Amino acid sequence: MTKEEHHLMAPAISRTARTSALVGAVAALGLALSACSIAGGAAAPSGSAGTPGGTVTLVTHDSFALSDGLLDDFTERTGYRVEVVQPGDAGTLVNQLVLTKDAPLGDVVFGVDNTFASRAVDEGVVQPYTSAAPAAQDAATYAADGGGALTAVDYGDVCINVDHAWFTEHDVPEPATLDDLTDPRYRDLLVVPSPVTSSPGFAFLLATVGAKGDAWPQYWEALKANGLKVAEGWSDAYSTDFSGGGGGGPRPIVLSYASSPPFTVPEGGDEPTTGALLDTCFRQVEYAGVLAGASNVPGAQALVDFLLSDEVQADIPGSMYMYPVSSAVTLPQEWADWAPLAPQPFEVPAAQITEHREEWLAQWSQTVVG
């Protein structure tokens, strides 16, 4: 997913028995669904069954992760061996795809999110492909502009998170909205990753654009005046500066994900020690696509289908901390209880992101960094 280093959540946060149970439940669900898919004949990617040998190269961000054995299953069923290339985070990924589009790094891409999707399409780095996998109809709900060149695989909300224990201990009410974060009661308590170097950081910048319109720079000026700290990336903000992230940092308010709280349930506990503020969120959608100029187009199409298969979709919550697009997957109870999606996340049209991305980043740097 485009979440910068979100796959580091597991080692960054103190792991618990409940977390292990969560991952185990997801894995078990994936195995069960895999068995059902194979039995029903739906698991074989369309147009690829029985293809002998060959390599398909997946270009993805450095947060990509699937449970052990899933890619081996793909190879066994299709004949394609997967080689993974990871040039960096989500922003770096798209930049590299654009720079190398005349000599592509691979055959298929995963991890282009909705903040960069229009650039990938406009630059012609992906070619149209319509999957026939069972979850393709669900994926169409999150379709990006561009004639079907990108297929949605997962989604999630970037939101402000708070450390419940800190606010209880200090007898301070928790913030709830973006405007609350500028209140003097929360001076020196907020840390966010930079939108220049972090994809969730850029998602939060977009949340403020969606919420404040042309007045978003003034909002950031107010955050800065209230003691905002800007970290280089998500892992620095969450694991080092955030008091609830396992590193004992001094700040109890951080930018993270709506899916973060289930991973902070203490051993023997019944509830997470953190929570997401659902009135502060921006929704990210991650896409896969066949690269223009791919040397193995059938293999690339088969891998896109595989990412929409029941077993991969069921694996996504536990391996990449995102919501699967497939409506056939039953989420772990911990997600239903503690990782709800925002009912009304802030939105910015893709065309506006494409038109103003560099302008907004430059203006943010001038406003916050100086």
> What are the φ/ψ torsions at residue 176 (nearest 5 degrees)?
-135, -25
Mean residue pLDDT of the chain comes to: 86
| Top-confidence residue, 88 or 242 | 242
In single-letter form, the type of residue at position 38 comes to: I
Location of structure tokens 């990449």: 320
State the pLDDT at residue 25.
37
β-pairing, 151-163 vs 253-257, is antiparallel
- Any idea where the domains of the chain sit in the sequence? 6-155+284-338, 157-283+352-365
State the pLDDT at residue 197.
84
- Global pTM value: 0.81
Q: Which CATH superfamily, name and number, covers 157-283+352-365?
A: Periplasmic binding protein-like II (3.40.190.10)
Q: Where are the beta strands (DSSP E) in the chain?
A: 55-61, 81-88, 108-113, 126-127, 151-163, 190-193, 229-231, 253-257, 274-291, 323-324
State the pLDDT at residue 53.
65
State the pLDDT at residue 56.
98
Q: Pick the closest to residue 350 from 142, 137, 200, 155 (CA basis).
A: 142
CATH number for the region 6-155+284-338 comes to 3.40.190.10
Q: Distance (Å, rounded) from C-alpha 226 to C-alpha 213?
A: 21
Share of the chain above pLDDT 90, in %: 69
Q: Give the C-alpha distances (Å, rounded to integers) separating 81 from 54, 58, 60, 74, 287.
A: 6, 10, 16, 8, 21
| Top-confidence residue, 26 or 368 | 368
Please tell me the least confidently modeled range out of 32-46, 69-83, 129-143, 219-233: 32-46
| Top-confidence residue, 25 or 229 | 229
Domains 6-155+284-338 and 157-283+352-365 share a fold: yes
Q: Are 321 and 1 in contact (CB under 8 A)?
A: yes
| Top-confidence residue, 2 or 76 | 76
290: β partners? 108, 127
